[in-house]
């Protein structure tokens, strides 16, 4: 049953057209994730669907008696109300009176807002977001409209919310940049791209495949158009005279082909690794302890960061992750212990909370304050060029910061930190408010970054993708785990099972230790390559290179044979077969690289 319909919606912000005559509908029980580059209008679309903002053109129609609840990206509250008062008011009408308070307190505690008598004006931005989320989930609703629901949630809270929304029977439309969350919860992806909406009846993994197919079809159509246009152009150059009706139609067809727009490809954040030389002494932490009053955040933490270290810190909200980052960056002092910084160390700190950005300052001046030029592997690159690579075209560069969306400001701030060419990069919740495209390319950037990466994040995908060692805050201690988030979660689950702690309902399935005939777990199996794996590992990079060269050659031949449709069909089939082989080889290569890394760690 269709419970919400938006017809021919158009919305502009100053001179930027965010939505251009788009239509959108929601079916009962559907769970839709809205994605797109920051500044394309995701939040605007949610506000229009929730009835909080009027479109310039078009209308939104709700089915009878449908209740919509909206979670804003930056919620506002009356500062003099208490946490419990506000949450109870939101939950009014939800269950019997005697049951509401207990359910409300349980939800607040689950989302880290358990100080019920605290005034809302005393809460941090993250606490306010979690309070707003609790209020939305408690209130009766047919449609939940959630703008970045996972922001400011720790990993445990995000896991719980993921399971809660999967089991919730209502209709959901949300904006989130948490790729694991999006993949698990959503059954439909709606992409905003250059003012248009593209809908995919699948989760995030399926969307990636379908979008690639859509873009390939658009490019194939463009190649065909260019081929026909070349033939038509030759006919025009031979001096065709528009005397007959047939000749006039031929000329009109040429004009139509010439004026037809080519598909516009997505901009991408492209940036060569920026860093300065790192000497022998890096960052050394010795016996660090920190607390506030009677509350100890962490104690006696020591660690020496190695060159090219990729270290992540995880833990519940308020455990001290950001405090530790500030201590490493020299912005706070520990109660005990010492931070030793090498002479060549240059720290870049990307903070969780944006520092003040003058809304009247031009975008390009904000970057020039960091550096006019930076040295990359390609040579000197100007601030303007770097802005283009970070999806700020020339028309935005000379605009005011105040006209940027929240996500665009985060992306601009990230570029400013990178422009200073640090060799130690501290990222405190880098995934908050950054779009998926920027996150993906930041991860690619970190692959080639010649320096130390220290990150705090609740984004499980980012931790798996970019981090090789994790420290978890556990009861005032920092416990070290090797690998990314999934490795940490599996190790943690095994520890809990050994200790007799049952997993929470809805937690992910855990792999059981292999059993011997006596019922006792086997000891850890020593990892090593099989004969075939060793042979594949030695030859696979050459095979990948050959396939890439074959695909490039086939594409060149396709361009030359664009007018021969029989030949083109044969070449297309050959290219698809080669691309399939390449994909299989790449998957095999990734598996072997991962296995080789684990073997090396085992031997060290």
Determine the Cα–Cα distance for residues 544 and 582; give it in Å rounded to an integer: 6
Q: Answer for the pair 3, 67: CB distance below 8 angstroms, yes or no.
A: no
Residue 525: Cβ-neighbour burial (10 angstroms; 0-12, 13-18, 19+): exposed
DSSP, res 263:
P
Task: Categorize the per-residue pLDDT at 269 as very low, low, confident or very high, splitting at 50, 70 and 90.
Answer: very low
Nearest to 433 by CA among 397, 405, 402, 461: 405
β-strand 2-13 against 16-27: which pairing, if any? antiparallel
Confidence (pLDDT) at 519: 38
Confidence (pLDDT) at 520: 38
Confidence (pLDDT) at 261: 55
Half-sphere exposure of 328 (CA within 13 A, CB side): 34
Task: Categorize the per-residue pLDDT at 581 as very low, low, confident or very high, splitting at 50, 70 and 90.
Answer: confident
Residue with tokens 């691309």: 579
Q: Answer for the pair 88, 103: CB distance below 8 angstroms, yes or no.
A: no
Task: Categorize the per-residue pLDDT at 221 as very low, low, confident or very high, splitting at 50, 70 and 90.
Answer: low
pLDDT over 70 for what percent of the chain? 82
Q: Answer for the pair 390, 37: CB distance below 8 angstroms, yes or no.
A: no
Nearest to 391 by CA among 42, 12, 38: 38
Task: Categorize the per-residue pLDDT at 275 as very low, low, confident or very high, splitting at 50, 70 and 90.
Answer: low
Q: Answer for the pair 192, 36: CB distance below 8 angstroms, yes or no.
A: yes
Nearest to 446 by CA among 470, 474, 428, 427: 427
Q: Quick: pLDDT tens for 439-462.
A: 887 888 888 888 999 999 989 999
Angle (CA) 398 403 404, round 5°: 90
Helices (H), 291-368: 321-328, 363-368
pLDDT over 90 for what percent of the chain? 35
How many other CB atoms are there within 10 angstroms of residue 255's CB atom? 12
Helices (H), 420-530: 436-447, 460-466, 485-498
Angle between helices 406-419 and 436-447 (to 10 degrees): 10
Nearest to 595 by CA among 544, 521, 530: 530
Confidence (pLDDT) at 524: 46
Q: Take residue 223 and report the two structure tokens written for it.
A: 């190649």
Report the chain's mean pLDDT, rounded to a whole number.
82
- Lowest mean pLDDT: which of 6-15, 43-52, 592-601? 592-601
- Nearest-Å Rg of the Cα atoms of the chain is 28
Q: Quick: pLDDT tens for 382-394.
A: 889 888 888 888 8
Task: Categorize the per-residue pLDDT at 228 as very low, low, confident or very high, splitting at 50, 70 and 90.
Answer: low
Q: Quick: pLDDT tens for 554-574.
A: 878 877 776 676 777 788 888
Q: Quick: pLDDT tens for 144-165.
A: 999 999 988 888 888 899 999 9
Which range, 91-100, 208-217, 566-575, has the best average confidence (pLDDT)? 566-575
Which range, 270-279, 391-400, 421-430, 566-575, has the best average confidence (pLDDT)? 421-430
Residue 593: pLDDT above 70?
yes
Residue with tokens 């009846």: 201
Helix (H, G, I), strand (E, B) or coil at 356: coil
Confidence (pLDDT) at 554: 85
Q: Quick: pLDDT tens for 494-537.
A: 877 776 654 444 444 333 333 333 333 444 445 677 777 777 88
Q: What is the largest CA-CA distance in the chain?
A: 95
Determine the Cα–Cα distance for residues 266 and 263; give it in Å rounded to an integer: 10
Which is higher by pLDDT, 264 or 88?
A: 88
Task: Categorize the per-residue pLDDT at 472 as very low, low, confident or very high, splitting at 50, 70 and 90.
Answer: very high
Q: Take residue 240 and report the two structure tokens written for it.
A: 């065709």
Q: Quick: pLDDT tens for 100-150.
A: 788 888 888 888 887 888 888 888 778 888 899 998 998 889 999 999 999
Which residues fall within 8 angstroms of residue 572, CB to CB, at 6 or more apart? 558
Confidence (pLDDT) at 74: 85
Mean pLDDT over 374-378 rounds to 73
Determine the Cα–Cα distance for residues 66 and 238; give it in Å rounded to an integer: 65
Nearest to 143 by CA among 91, 90, 68, 49: 68
Nearest to 601 by CA among 533, 527, 494, 490: 527
Nearest to 222 by CA among 175, 176, 257, 178: 257
Determine the Cα–Cα distance for residues 407 and 151; give it in Å rounded to an integer: 13
């Amino acid at each position: 049953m269709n419970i919400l319909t938006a017809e021919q919606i158009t919305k502009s912000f100053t001179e930027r057209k965010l939505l251009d005559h788009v239509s959108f509908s929601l079916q009962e029980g559907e769970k839709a994730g809205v994605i797109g580059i920051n500044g394309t209008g995701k939040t605007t679309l949610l506000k229009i669907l929730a009835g909080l903002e009027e479109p310039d053109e078009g209308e939104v129609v709700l089915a009878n008696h449908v209740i919509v609840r909206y979670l804003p990206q930056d919620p506002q509250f009356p500062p003099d109300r208490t946490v419990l008062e506000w949450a109870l008011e939101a939950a009014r009408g939800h269950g019997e009176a005697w049951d509401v308070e207990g359910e409300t307190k349980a939800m607040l505690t689950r989302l880290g807002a358990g100080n019920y008598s605290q005034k809302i004006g005393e809460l941090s931005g993250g606490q306010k977001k979690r309070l707003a989320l609790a209020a939305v989930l408690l209130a009766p609703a047919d449609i939940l409209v959630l703008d970045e629901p996972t922001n400011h949630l720790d990993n445990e809270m995000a896991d719980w919310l993921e399971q809660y929304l999967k089991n919730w029977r209502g209709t959901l439309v949300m904006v989130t940049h948490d790729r694991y969350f999006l993949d698990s919860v959503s059954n439909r992806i709606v992409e905003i791209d250059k003012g248009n909406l593209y809908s995919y009846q699948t989760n995030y993994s399926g969307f990636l495949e379908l979008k690639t197919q859509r873009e390939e079809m658009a490019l194939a159509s463009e190649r065909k158009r260019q081929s026909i246009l070349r033939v038509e152009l030759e006919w025009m150059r031979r001096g065709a005279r528009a005397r007959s009706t047939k000749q006039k139609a031929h000329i009109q067809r040429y004009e139509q082909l010439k004026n037809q727009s080519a598909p516009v490809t997505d901009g991408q954040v492209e940036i060569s690794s920026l860093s300065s030389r790192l000497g022998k002494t890096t960052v050394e932490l010795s016996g660090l302890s920190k607390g506030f009053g009677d509350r100890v955040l962490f104690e006696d933490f020591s660690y020496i960061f190695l060159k090219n270290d990729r270290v992540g810190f995880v833990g519940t909200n308020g455990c001290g992750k950001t405090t530790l980052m500030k201590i490493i960056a020299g912005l706070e002092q520990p109660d005990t212990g010492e931070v030793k910084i090498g002479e060549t160390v240059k720290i870049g700190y990307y903070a969780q909370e944006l520092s003040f950005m003058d809304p009247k300052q031009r975008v390009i001046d904000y970057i020039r304050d960091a550096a006019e030029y930076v040295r990359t592997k390609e040579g000197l690159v100007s601030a303007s060029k770097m802005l283009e690579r970070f999806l700020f075209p020339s028309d935005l560069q000379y605009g005011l910061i105040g006209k940027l969306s929240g996500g665009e400001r985060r992306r601009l701030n990230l570029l400013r930190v990178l422009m200073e060419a640090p060799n130690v990069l501290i990222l405190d919740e880098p995934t908050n408010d950054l779009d998926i495209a920027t996150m993906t390319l930041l991860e690619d950037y970190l692959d080639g970054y010649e320096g130390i990466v220290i990150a705090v994040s609740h984004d499980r995908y980012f931790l798996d993708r970019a981090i090789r060692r994790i420290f978890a805050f556990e009861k005032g201690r920092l416990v070290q785990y090797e690998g990314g988030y999934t490795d940490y979660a599996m190790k943690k689950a095994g520890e809990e099972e050994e200790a007799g702690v049952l997993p929470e309902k809805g937690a992910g399935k855990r792999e059981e230790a292999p059993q011997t005939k006596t019922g006792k777990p086997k000891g850890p199996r020593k990892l090593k390559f099989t004969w075939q794996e060793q042979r594949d590992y030695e030859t696979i990079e050459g095979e990948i290179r050959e396939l890439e060269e074959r695909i490039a050659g086939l594409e060149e031949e396709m361009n030359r044979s664009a007018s021969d449709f029989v030949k083109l069909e044969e070449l297309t089939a050959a290219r698809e077969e080669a691309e399939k082989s390449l994909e299989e080889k790449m998957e095999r290569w990734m598996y072997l690289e991962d296995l080789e890394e684990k073997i090396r760690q085992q031997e060290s």
